[in-house]
Amino acid sequence: MAEVNTGFDNFHPIVAKKQELGEVSSNTEVRVRGLVNVVELKPTDDIEFDVQQVGDAGQMVYLMVEGGEEKTLTMGDKFIATGTLDTGSTDDRMFVIKFVSDGELLYEVSRTTAMDIS
């Protein structure tokens, strides 16, 4: 299982930041900073998504995960999530998971079902 590490350090609490990772199949470090952080990725392998730092209380992370091949996204130790995300095998599907930080952990607030993006 590959790991995606967001490297949440040196947050700037005013602006929203977006990073498009594209296809992710191996260890990848992502640096996102801001009050609202959007991370877009398409897993090509089962991956674990983790962070080095969770940011300040109130900071949010949106994971936008594109499906297409059946892959599993697992949240790391600093996430409190309702479970893993299975992308299924249908092309042109997007899942969005929202997390909010309490300064120590990132808690899942919501997640969508598979949305058609074709």
* Residue 112 structural domain: 2-116
Q: Name the token pair of 32.
A: 């996102």
Comparing 88 with 14, the larger pLDDT belongs to: 88
Percent with pLDDT over 90 in the chain? 22
* Mean pLDDT of the 84-88 span: 90
* Number of independent structural domains in the chain: 1
According to the model, what pLDDT value does residue 20 have?
Answer: 57
Q: Using CA atoms, how far apart are residues 34 and 18, in angstroms rounded to an integer?
A: 9
Confidence of residue 19 (pLDDT cuts 50, 70, 90): low
Instruction: For the beta carbon of residue 118, count every other beta carbon within 10 angstroms.
Output: 6
Cβ neighbours of residue 39 closer than 8 Å, sequence gap 6 or more: 6, 18, 19, 21, 30, 32, 61, 62, 63, 64
Tens of pLDDT, residues 44-65 = 888 887 777 788 888 888 888 8
CA–chain centroid gap for 91, Å, is 19
Q: What is the DSSP letter of 80?
A: E
According to the model, what pLDDT value does residue 115 have?
Answer: 93
